[in-house]
Amino acid sequence: MKIIAIASLAALLAPPLAAASDPSALRRSLSLRDDWMYLTRDIADPAEWTHEGKRFHYRKTVEGGFAFVEIDARTQRRRAPFDAGKLAVALSDATQQSYQPLRLPFDAFEYADENRAITVTIADERWTCGIVSYACRKADPADMNRPRAFGVVRDLDAPADNHPRKSPDGQWEALVEDDNVVVRAVGSKDAIALSTDGTPGEFYDPETLAWSPDSTRLVVYRVRPGFRRIVTRVEAAPSNQLQPALRTQLYPKPGDPVDIEQPVLFHVAERRRIDIDNALFTNPYEMSPPAWRKDGRTFAFDYERRGHSQARVIEVDGQTGAAKAAITEDSKTFVYADRRYRHDVGDDAREIVWISERDGWRHLYLADAATGALKQITRGPWVVRDVLKVDDAQRRLWFSASGMDAGKDPYFKHVFRIDFDGANLTRLTTADATHKVRFAPDMSVYVDTYSRVDLPTVSELHRADGTLIATLERGDISRLTAAGWRPPEPFVSKGRDGTSDIWGLIVRPRDYDPAKKYPVLENIYAGPHDSFVPKSFWPFGFHAGGDKVIGMQAQADLGFIVVQIDGMGTANRSKAFHDISWKNLADSGFPDRILWHKALAARDPSYDISRVGIYGASAGGQSALNALLFYPDFYKAAVAYAGCYDNRMDKISWNEQWLGWPVDASYAAASGVDNAARLQGRLLLIVGEQDSNVDPASTMQVVDALIKADKDFELLVVPGGEHSVGRSTGPIPYVQRRQFEFFMRTLLARPNQSLGTDLSP
């Protein structure tokens, strides 16, 4: 048995390598990102509007990097929203990092302090920077809510935001003392206890306190804490000390008890409390904070049942505490929690705009809150993607949708408006591309930013009726094209059901010769939470996905054809298409992917499906390993990064969404640990030692199972590496090089010989 670990670089570099007769080929591929990332001009991000709605701003590519532009919507006059040079100095001083004016470490900002400052996010931290005085400070943790691990277990080591909540009439303030709710007159220190049953094991959460509009009542959640599971990681080579260090993280996993929230209503003047009957929300996975209707008649919250098969809008009478289900959404598989949408119509919310997949497609409905009856607003074999605006007075809404145009790419987003009764459906975007539209607050105008993988980004200003006012930006890729870039090729074939179109992209070597045979690499991400084949233009290195695409082209230039595919089980298509993933994560759309590969090979003789490799990260890492466990007749080599190889080891939120609760046999069926003995082909596992997204022990448990099964594989553990290890390129792209070399050895070196398990060169 041979396990190639970090120190085994010599074996990796030993001849013979296919492209190794020209080592410069590997160097060129590894430097491609740096060579190409600043070659585009005027590629604009979607616009963001100022609060007053008179101006909007966006970032765009310029010579040497990118710049922010702010435009007056009425005159189209342009200006820089801030001095980038001064801001770079201020950020560098505050963060102890070096930043350049054209390479600021954020792609969006919000105005603050009456436009005298901006707020930005840098490496998941919030910063506020003055743009008059040009000084930056990190957001005060006291201004932030107590963290919740994956949304469902509060981190009780972090203090809650317990600032006094002032009543709307300004007379009272409410807070929590010793785990109980108290109120006091504003300006007084004399607290009046509204509850006495709060304890550390069942406390009142100040962050859920909500006053009624008439200041006579309070609602708050009493919380029974969930299981405090702590993941402990050893950092072997910390930068600030010689000895290893321990790192801990609150990390709930599938099956763990979550925080249980119980709404309690208080009538303040009478000192009377009402515990809301929980018969309609008996097994909560997650509940939104309670929110009063504007008329004060009721308050409401969203409820997601554990296992994700039911979602409800619970409405509670603000006087009696009687609860009812204003809307109930049931599914035989799953209700996708992150794609729910609710809008309360009017002050009394007697109607609710709701999204449902009950007819097999994601559509908008208008619910009668009194009866729960639903009237369908949109309908057809297409999906609503996002609700952009609801106008209660006009009884009209604006939304994005995809799949409406027969024969066109079903993932392209277009924007429409429609009346509550389903009448007057109007298209606002026409270009055959995917669109990101940002409306002014008053809906009088909007900025439409659209592109395709073969169409550089165009940004336009339109009137509300769709009339073009001005073209703001039109991407220039002439220098990128001159450097050798060519757009990826879309390809479509039928899936396993014989009817569903499966869409993918093809990236070929820049010196592609159709008379040659090329091994294939598939870049896989098959998480059911979205679709992943890019649809918009890829300005290399600037937007999410830029590094990924550079990696595809860089590998193609080594002598591969590199592809990416959305198989069944991913989102943004029909409910039946999506449901393939339910309790079936080992599937990863592989039956559709293999059909796609075979269809392309039948059309293109250069596409050699006798030599197919696959690589992916996170859920894509799980899929890459599963390709060799469950489909080894087709896939011959895999690089798997930071995979959630056993879904019982991964975070609670993602895994219970797709495999349900309680934990059952479907978790084991997809497990790379339980199925390790099935491994065939060549495998490289890569993991960051300090992965805070997927417990890195998941990788090591696969390693343990492979050793016990006497299977050969390669392993790279990156000390201090996080979840994104290998997917963000540093000065020396070591991990990326290891992946490239692995595929060169396994798929290019001996194209006419069997790929056995012998790892020797």
What CATH number is associated with residue 190?
Answer: 2.140.10.30
3-state DSSP of 325-370: EEEEEECCCCCCHHHCCEEEECCCCCEEEEEECCCCCCEEEEEECC
Q: What is the mean pLDDT of residues 175-203?
A: 97
* Per-residue confidence band for 37, with pLDDT thresholds at 50, 70 and 90: confident
pLDDT of residue 143: 62
535 and 409 Cβ atoms separated by less than 8 Å: yes
3-state DSSP of 269-299: CCCEEEECCCCCCCCEEEECCCEECCCCCEE
Residues 120 and 206 in one domain: no
534 and 553 Cβ atoms separated by less than 8 Å: no
Q: What is the mean pLDDT of residues 233-255?
A: 97
Distant-in-sequence, close-in-space partners of 145: CB < 8 Å, separation ≥ 6: 160, 161, 207
User: pLDDT digit string (tens) for 129-142?
Assistant: 999 999 999 987 65
The CB-based long-range contact list for 360-364 (8 Å cut-off, 24+ gap) reads 360/574, 360/575, 360/576, 361/574, 361/575, 362/575, 364/397, 364/399, 364/418
Residues 121 and 152 in one domain: no
Distance CA(748)–CA(746), nearest Å, equals: 6
pLDDT tops 60 at residue 31 = yes
Distance CA(130)–CA(90), nearest Å, equals: 9
Residues 159 and 124 in one domain: no
pLDDT tops 70 at residue 760 = no
Answer whether residue 388 is part of any domain.
Answer: no
Answer whether residue 760 is part of any domain.
Answer: no
Residues 228 and 121 in one domain: no
Question: For residue 208, what are the domain limits?
Answer: 145-340
pLDDT of residue 611: 98
User: pLDDT digit string (tens) for 46-72?
Assistant: 999 998 899 999 999 999 999 999 999
Element (H, E) at 233: strand 230-235
Q: Which residue has the tokens 């069944």?
A: 568
DSSP per-residue string spanning 121-145 = EETTEEEEEESSS--EEEPPGGGSP
pLDDT tops 80 at residue 515 = yes
* Per-residue confidence band for 283, with pLDDT thresholds at 50, 70 and 90: very high
pLDDT of residue 258: 98
Q: What is the mean pLDDT of residues 321-336?
A: 98
pLDDT of residue 551: 82
pLDDT of residue 21: 44
Least reliable range by pLDDT among 550-564, 575-589, 646-660: 550-564
Residues 241 and 126 in one domain: no
Distance CA(221)–CA(261), nearest Å, equals: 6
User: pLDDT digit string (tens) for 88-114?
Assistant: 999 999 999 999 999 999 999 999 999
Torsion of CA 95, 98, 102, 104, to 10 degrees: -20
pLDDT of residue 397: 98
User: pLDDT digit string (tens) for 534-576?
Assistant: 999 975 544 434 456 678 999 999 999 999 999 999 999 999 9
Torsion of CA 593, 596, 601, 603, to 10 degrees: -170
Residues 133 and 158 in one domain: no
pLDDT tops 60 at residue 85 = yes
pLDDT tops 90 at residue 605 = yes
Distances 200 to 119, 203, 256, 276, 310 between C-alpha atoms, Å: 35, 6, 19, 21, 30
Residues 655 and 609 in one domain: yes
Residues 509 and 566 in one domain: yes
Distance CA(507)–CA(314), nearest Å, equals: 49
DSSP-derived 3-state class of residue 555? helix
Residues 54 and 158 in one domain: no
Percent of all residues in the chain with a pLDDT value above 70, rounded to a whole number: 93
Answer whether residue 447 is part of any domain.
Answer: no
Distance CA(399)–CA(354), nearest Å, equals: 13
Distance CA(268)–CA(168), nearest Å, equals: 14
pLDDT of residue 752: 42
pLDDT of residue 540: 58
Answer whether residue 634 is part of any domain.
Answer: yes
From 125, 141, 157, the end of a domain falls on: 141
Distance CA(595)–CA(605), nearest Å, equals: 16
From 293, 312, 340, the end of a domain falls on: 340
pLDDT of residue 622: 98
Distances 549 to 520, 536, 613, 624, 724 between C-alpha atoms, Å: 15, 12, 17, 18, 15
DSSP per-residue string spanning 493-553 = EE-TTSSSEEEEEEE--TT--TTS-EEEEEE----TTS--S--S---TTTSTTHHHHHHHH
Distant-in-sequence, close-in-space partners of 356: CB < 8 Å, separation ≥ 6: 329, 362, 363, 365, 374
Answer whether residue 439 is part of any domain.
Answer: no
How many structural domains compose the chain?
Answer: 3
DSSP per-residue string spanning 146-209 = PPEETTTEE-TTSPP----EE-TTSSEEEEEETTEEEEEETT----EES-S--BTTBEE-GGG-
Answer whether residue 391 is part of any domain.
Answer: no
Q: Which of 381, 412, 377 is nearest to 397 (CA)?
A: 377
Residues 101 and 233 in one domain: no
Residues 176 and 122 in one domain: no
Average pLDDT, the chain: 93
DSSP-derived 3-state class of residue 561? strand
At residue 419, φ and ψ (nearest 5 deg) are: -85, 160
- Amino acid in position 702: V
Element (H, E) at 313: strand 310-317
Q: What is the mean pLDDT of residues 363-389?
A: 97
Q: What is the mean pLDDT of residues 447-452?
A: 98
Percent of all residues in the chain with a pLDDT value above 90, rounded to a whole number: 89
Answer whether residue 10 is part of any domain.
Answer: yes
From 308, 340, 372, the end of a domain falls on: 340
Upstream peptide bond of 23 is cis (omega within 30 degrees of 0): no
pLDDT of residue 225: 98
Residues 310 and 190 in one domain: yes
Q: What is the mean pLDDT of residues 581-598?
A: 98
Using alpha carbons only, give the angle 452, 456, 458 rounded to the nearest 5 degrees. 95
Q: Cα-atom radius of gyration of the chain, to the nearest Å?
A: 28
For the chain, count helices (H), then strands (E). 13, 47
pLDDT tops 80 at residue 732 = no
* Per-residue confidence band for 749, with pLDDT thresholds at 50, 70 and 90: confident
Q: Which of 596, 602, 545, 598 is nearest to 567 (CA)?
A: 596
The 3-state DSSP composition of the chain as helix, strand, coil percent (nearest 5) reads 15, 35, 50
Q: Hey, how many other C-beta atoms are within 10 angstroms of the C-beta on 272? A: 11
Answer whether residue 375 is part of any domain.
Answer: no
pLDDT tops 90 at residue 427 = yes
Q: What is the mean pLDDT of residues 726-734?
A: 62
Q: Which residue has the tokens 């609503």?
A: 384
pLDDT tops 60 at residue 10 = no
Distance CA(31)–CA(541), nearest Å, equals: 12
User: Considering the entire predicted model, what is its pTM?
Assistant: 0.94
Greater confidence, 494 or 15?
494
pLDDT of residue 579: 98
Upstream peptide bond of 519 is cis (omega within 30 degrees of 0): no
| Strand extents, DSSP E, 689-741 | 713-718
Q: What is the mean pLDDT of residues 619-628?
A: 98
User: pLDDT digit string (tens) for 520-531?
Assistant: 999 999 999 999
